[in-house]
Amino acid sequence: MPGRHFLQIPGPTNVPDRVLRAMDMPTMDHRGSEFQALGKRVLSGIKVIFQTEKPVVIYPASGTGAWEAALVNTLSPGDLVLMYESGQFAALWKKLAEKLGLRTEFLSGDWRSAAKPDAISDRLKADTDHEIKAVCVVHNETSTGCVAPIAEIRRAIDEAGHPALFLVDTISSLGSIDYRHDEWGVDVTVGGSQKGLMLPPGLSFNALSDKALDAHEKSGLAKSYWDWAEMLLVNKNGFFPYTPATNLLYGLDTAIEMLLDEGLAKVFDRHARHGEATRRAVRAWGLDVLCEEESQHSGSLTAVLMPDGQDADQFRKVVLDHFNMSLGAGLGKVAGKVFRIGHLGDFNDLMLLGTLGGVEMGLAIAGVPHTPGGVRAAMDFLSGQRRAGGDAKVAAA
């Protein structure tokens, strides 16, 4: 088809030309002084994105690798980990933990809301012997579009007087939704390159706390590739203990620069604005947003429930065949029932309206019951925001 492909899944996201050009460089000597300067820049810059003063470890891996690194560096065989069933990615992290020889306890969730601080607090208060060694929560659940209140969960852990480590997955929120590793008292934050950081897949991250580093000294799970100690030792001089993903680090350097040039507050406001515009379109169509909690709506993606009797995957195929646009599939318990609209990364108002236009035309072609006018509802909201001052916060709309 003529024109560009619209990649509107919730990651991997569109990689901006500026980042592509940054990666289009000869591979350098990863033991030389030129790389050392690059290494120091990205290791320093990524801390700003996580909003931390503590070390951030960068792996050549997907987010799954960062999940594993967070667990093996802090825990020992047989340790009990408390997790919350917020969606498919929480379930996958649980499965990985069990494969590593950890015991898991999964607090039930309905896949229409995020992790609940009260439920976590109640369970920790009941754990008087402090058998639970870590609490693992997904910040932005990519399968549902629900955002967990991380600061509130931290307070709930503290109020329970429990010493468990706090591990958080930000794979689909880092660089898109406000996240404060230090201020919110997180011990290990997991991240990935292929979403809000506007890079191809291939880099993953662990942001650390002093408590996490202390836990590393006592951890008993086997680790070699993922070992923080090896990384942190050579990272001090801008290097890595094994061959890094050199050209992806070129791209990361530029992606960090782009995010900081825009300003993190403006980045977060932009994503919130696009999330709100998308939800207004969905409601105007007469469809339901999967996430039911108003305070938990995501700026990264919107998961849309199909009407009864309608197949989300067939609808996605219609949109792809007619408009060369990829929408995210429903995963796990909501497979076939949900399609997901990604609105994160290198993204602007016109790209969103093109996306929503493709969805609205697809609904008509596929014969999905709906009311036309979703694109108009999004346009009205976005133009109103512009009239109110361009970068006005969504809450002030």
Q: Are residues 249 and 364 in the same domain?
A: no
Instruction: State the average pLDDT over residues 144-165.
Output: 98
In a domain, 196, yes or no: yes
Q: Are residues 67 and 172 in the same domain?
A: yes
Instruction: State the average pLDDT over residues 259-278.
Output: 98
pLDDT digits (tens, 9 = 90+) for 284-343: 999 999 999 999 999 999 999 999 999 999 999 999 999 999 999 999 999 999 999 999
* pLDDT score at 396: 37
- pLDDT of 190 above 70: yes
Phi-psi region of 198 (alpha: psi -120 to 50; beta: other; left: phi over 0): left
Q: How confident is the model at residue 179 (pLDDT cuts 50, 70, 90)?
A: very high
The residues, any chain, with a CB within 8 Å of residue 38's CB and separated by 6 or more, are 28, 238, 249, 250, 253
Q: Are residues 198 and 277 in the same domain?
A: no
Q: Are residues 252 and 267 in the same domain?
A: no
In a domain, 160, yes or no: yes
**Looking at residue 248, which CATH number applies to its domain?**
3.40.640.10
pLDDT digits (tens, 9 = 90+) for 38-96: 999 999 999 999 999 999 999 999 999 999 999 999 999 999 999 999 999 999 999 99
Q: What is the mean pLDDT of the chain?
A: 97
* pLDDT score at 183: 98
Q: Are residues 221 and 232 in the same domain?
A: yes
Q: How confident is the model at residue 397 (pLDDT cuts 50, 70, 90)?
A: very low
Closest by CA to 144, choosing from 167, 95, 174, 110, is: 110
Q: Of 260, 281, 298, which marks where a domain is finished?
A: 260
Closest by CA to 204, choosing from 192, 196, 195, is: 192
Q: Are residues 231 and 349 in the same domain?
A: no
Q: Are residues 256 and 267 in the same domain?
A: no
Q: Name the residue range of residue 63's domain.
A: 17-260
The CA distance from 190 to 207, in Å, is 7
Torsion (CA) 267, 209, 204, 131 in degrees, nearest 10: -120
Q: How confident is the model at residue 394 (pLDDT cuts 50, 70, 90)?
A: low
Instruction: State the average pLDDT over residues 368-375.
Output: 98
Q: Of 203, 231, 260, which marks where a domain is finished?
A: 260
pLDDT digits (tens, 9 = 90+) for 197-249: 999 999 999 999 999 999 999 999 999 999 999 999 999 999 999 999 999 99
- pLDDT of 392 above 60: no
* Number of compact structural domains in the chain: 2
In a domain, 161, yes or no: yes
* pLDDT score at 388: 86
Percentage of residues of the chain with pLDDT beyond 90: 96
Is residue 340 part of an annotated ligand binding site?
Answer: yes
In a domain, 5, yes or no: no
* pLDDT score at 65: 98
**Looking at residue 339, which CATH number applies to its domain?**
3.90.1150.10
Q: What are phi and psi of 158, to 5 degrees?
A: -65, -45
Q: Are residues 26 and 137 in the same domain?
A: yes
Residue 12, preceding peptide bond in cis (omega within 30° of 0):
yes
In a domain, 116, yes or no: yes
Q: What are phi and psi of 107, to 5 degrees?
A: -75, 130
Q: Are residues 308 and 333 in the same domain?
A: yes
Q: What is the biggest distance separating any 2 CA atoms in the chain, rounded to whole angstroms? A: 63
In a domain, 4, yes or no: no
CB 219 within 8 A of CB 79: no
Instruction: State the average pLDDT over residues 8-12.
Output: 98
In a domain, 328, yes or no: yes
Q: Are residues 322 and 255 in the same domain?
A: no
Q: Are residues 303 and 255 in the same domain?
A: no
Q: Are residues 246 and 293 in the same domain?
A: no
In a domain, 90, yes or no: yes
C-alpha distances (whole Å) from 206 to each of 156, 190, 216 are 23, 5, 13
Q: Of 260, 276, 307, which marks where a domain is finished?
A: 260
The CA distance from 94 to 83, in Å, is 7
